[in-house]
Amino acid sequence: MFTYHINMKTLFMLLLFCHVASTGKIVKHSLKVLLTATSGITNIPEFVNFGMVDEVEMAYYDSNIKIVETKQDWMRDFMKDNPKHMEWYTQMCFKYQQVFRAYIDDLKQRLNQTGGAHILQAMSGCEWDDETGEVIGFSQFGYDGEDFIALDLQTMTWTATRQKAFTTKLIWNADKASLEYSKYYFNHECPHWLKEYVHYGRSSLQRTDLPSVSLIQKTPSSPVSCHATGFYPDRAMMYWRKDGEEHHEDLDHGEILPNHDGSFQISVDLILSSVAPEDWRRYDCVFNLSGVEDDIVTKLDKAQIRTNWGKTEIRSGEGGRQVSDLLI
């Protein structure tokens, strides 16, 4: 399902297209292009394009800046070595800016939407298994927070996922030239560029840095925060367990945030007011990093909590923001 948020970068990072976290060596790579057009929303660009390789943002374009911004050093190297590709990428962004503007205007007219805020999203791209050589393409659209239409690459036909997309399905399925180009793009062009990007970014894309994990409590009545910092990439999960089962009550989940050195941090707070002292031993904090098989498990132990009144701290791994910074 599609969703959107007033902050455009958060919008795309929260798109509910799931991927399976891998363990060990990454053999399946993905190239995703995330696009949006908006109408009636004044504080964000009318069109945004994100390019992502293996869930890492590598390029960004919007209708305000009107240029492609490369987001990774390896992508900047690739564009420097392939200047015509940068020109092509920019032209494609500008083209889809116009196309999506037309799409959303057409949908508003067809659905009799005369005002209000509307948003059209799309995700397209391909996955490539570098061991088997298998390539899988995908293209799907959402409108106003709901799935709308998707391309079936087996039959090369568009499938409406909502009744209001039925007319769009008929129009797009009648455009045989576009369907032929899509077939070529998803089977040849997309995997070609994905392989090129992976070649340039392999050392970075397959980098894994384990975090330092600490238990932090600002005051005796504050929640206990399980804080991990210094990990890479940002495909990570952190949660509390009770008796070995994931715990969902009395928690405050923080977002994954960037550190100044390019690594990431996250924290999950456990509210202790409803936890009896004798039950502390039943809780632990679990950190999982995509591509790493073993979790980092931190027991809830008073003796291991870092506080402003002087206790010890637990650490696992290297780097990141100092725990003392979080206690101020």
Compute the distance between CA of residue 125 and CA of residue 189 in angstroms, rounded to an integer. 10
Q: What is the pTM of this model?
A: 0.69
Mean pLDDT of 19-40: 72
* Domain-embedded: residue 263: yes
Q: Could you tell me the residue range of the domain that residue 316 belongs to?
A: 212-320
User: For the chain, first and last CA: distance in Å?
Assistant: 40
Say whether both 188 and 217 belong to one domain. Answer: no
Higher confidence at residue 17 or residue 140? 140
Last residue of a domain, one of 174, 190, 205: 205
Average pLDDT taken over every residue of the chain: 85
* Domain-embedded: residue 296: yes
Is the pLDDT confidence value at 173 over 60?
yes
Last residue of a domain, one of 189, 205, 221: 205
Residues 183-218, buried b or exposed e (16+ Cβ, 10 A)?
eebbeeebbebbebbbebbeebbeeebbbbbbbbbb
* Domain-embedded: residue 327: no
Higher confidence at residue 320 or residue 160? 160
Last residue of a domain, one of 183, 205, 227: 205
Higher confidence at residue 24 or residue 54? 54
* Domain-embedded: residue 2: no
Say whether both 173 and 222 belong to one domain. Answer: no
Tokens of 106: 């057409």
Could you read off the pLDDT of 74-125 as tens digits, one per residue?
A: 999 999 999 999 999 999 999 999 999 999 999 999 999 988 999 999 999 9
Compute the distance between CA of residue 24 and CA of residue 292 in angstroms, rounded to an integer. 6
* Domain-embedded: residue 328: no
Say whether both 22 and 135 belong to one domain. Answer: yes
* Domain-embedded: residue 194: yes
Is the pLDDT confidence value at 317 over 60?
no
Say whether both 99 and 28 belong to one domain. Answer: yes
Say whether both 201 and 269 belong to one domain. Answer: no
* Domain-embedded: residue 246: yes
